[in-house]
């Protein structure tokens, strides 16, 4: 009996180890596509949290007077975020009636729970390289001041932004998005992993094993088709970023 119990505990431990290593689900711009709420809204973040996503991704830009707002594009409703004041941007309503969220409001909403990580994409500036770095410093300072550091992962297409985060927040995790660096190159620069388009990994499938062997994060965007999801789960990537979190959750949690 005692032996059976020990075996049972061992089996449970093994199972929990396996589930820990399972591919995790990141809702791209929140869970917006099948829920009918606007992308990158607080509502989309809440939907991702409600469905139990491991992470919810969102994008940020900085207003003319240095307030950070959550939006994918550099423009919203024809207004350029970087050259508009925070006061004018705060007056913009999304299609669900929600105000265009600031990073502060968005992080505070995300901090009301513990399960879903906040995957913060720092958008490079269209105005200047320096402005992208200034956005990065402000965003990291806000994350730290709200005590959100342990809940946030950073991603960016701009390699200098990735390196800046490592410099100013050595404990933060950073993934690079552009797909033009090998895992060895990222590793040498202290970047914690890649978050690459799935077509990059279709061309360089060996990068997944290489990154895993270096204990790097392997994240893939934006994977919406089931054959691609199945292949990446099989390859054991750490994270898949998707507009279809409902489908992916069913696959990884079965
Ligand atoms: Mg993004």
CA of 22 to the centre of ligand 1 (A): 23
Residue located via tokens 């994977």: 223
Whole-angstrom distance, CA of residue 22 vs CA of residue 16 = 10
Kindly give the distance from the C-alpha atom of residue 243 to the centroid of ligand 1, in angstroms, as a whole number: 11
> How far does the centroid of ligand 1 lie from the alpha carbon of residue 157, in Å?
9
Distance 72 CA to ligand 1 centre (A): 6
Q: How far is the CA of 138 from the centre of ligand 1 (A)?
A: 18
**Cα 122 from Cα 41, distance rounded (Å):** 16
Residue 253 Cα to ligand 1 midpoint, Å, equals: 24
Q: What is the whole-number distance in angstroms between the Cα of residue 63 and the centre of ligand 1?
A: 18
Distance 58 CA to ligand 1 centre (A): 6
Written as one string, the DSSP assignment of 146-177 is TT-GGGEEEEES-HHHHHHHHHH-TTSEEEE-
SS3 string of 30-88?
A: CCCCCCCCCCCCHHHHHHHHHCCCCEEEEEEEECCCCCEEECCCCEECCEEHHHCCHHH
Chunked in runs of 10, what are the mean pLDDT values of the chain (254 residues)?
A: 58 47 94 98 98 98 98 98 98 98 98 98 97 98 98 98 97 98 98 98 98 98 98 97 98 90
CA of 112 to the centre of ligand 1 (A): 22
Compute the distance between CA of residue 43 and CA of residue 177 in angstroms, rounded to an integer: 25
| pLDDT of amino acid 172 | 97
183 vs 124, 160, 179, 187, CA distance in Å? 22, 17, 10, 6
- What is the chain's length? 254
CA of 91 to the centre of ligand 1 (A): 23
Q: Calculate how far, in angstroms, residue 179's C-alpha sits from the geometric centre of ligand 1.
A: 14
How far is the C-alpha of 161 from the C-alpha of 158, rounded, in Å? 5
Ligand 1 centroid distance, CA of 102 (Å): 16
User: How many whole angstroms from its chain centre is CA 182?
Assistant: 20
> 113 Cβ partners below 8 Å, 6+ apart?
49
29 CA to centre of ligand 1 in angstroms: 6
- What confidence score (pLDDT) does residue 254 get? 75
Residue 222 CA to ligand 1 center (angstroms) comes to: 9
Which DSSP category does 105 fall into? H
pTM: 0.92
């Amino acid at each position: 009996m005692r032996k059976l119990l020990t075996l049972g505990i061992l089996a449970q431990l093994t199972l929990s180890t396996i589930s820990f290593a399972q591919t995790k689900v990141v809702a791209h711009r929140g869970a917006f596509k099948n829920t009918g709420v606007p992308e990158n809204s607080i509502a989309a973040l809440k939907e991702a949290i409600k469905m139990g996503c491991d992470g919810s991704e969102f994008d940020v830009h900085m207003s003319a007077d240095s307030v950070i707002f959550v939006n994918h594009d550099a423009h919203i409703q024809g207004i350029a975020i970087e050259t508009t004041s925070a006061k004018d941007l705060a007056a913009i309503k999304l299609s669900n009636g929600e105000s265009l969220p600031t990073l502060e409001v968005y992080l505070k909403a995300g901090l009301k729970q513990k399960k879903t990580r906040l995957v913060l994409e720092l958008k490079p500036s269209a105005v200047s390289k320096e402005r992208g770095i200034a956005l990065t410093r402000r965003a990291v300072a806000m994350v730290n001041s709200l005590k959100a550091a342990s809940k946030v992962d950073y991603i960016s297409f701009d390699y200098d932004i990735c390196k800046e985060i490592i410099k100013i927040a050595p404990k933060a995790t950073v993934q690079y998005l552009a797909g033009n660096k090998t895992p060895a190159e990222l590793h040498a620069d202290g970047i914690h992993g890649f978050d690459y388009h799935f077509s990059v990994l279709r061309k360089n499938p060996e990068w997944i094993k290489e990154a895993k062997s270096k204990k790097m994060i392997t994240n893939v965007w934006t994977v919406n088709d089931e054959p691609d999801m199945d292949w990446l789960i099989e390859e054991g990537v750490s994270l898949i970023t998707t507009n279809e979190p409902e489908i992916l959750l069913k696959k990884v949690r079965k």
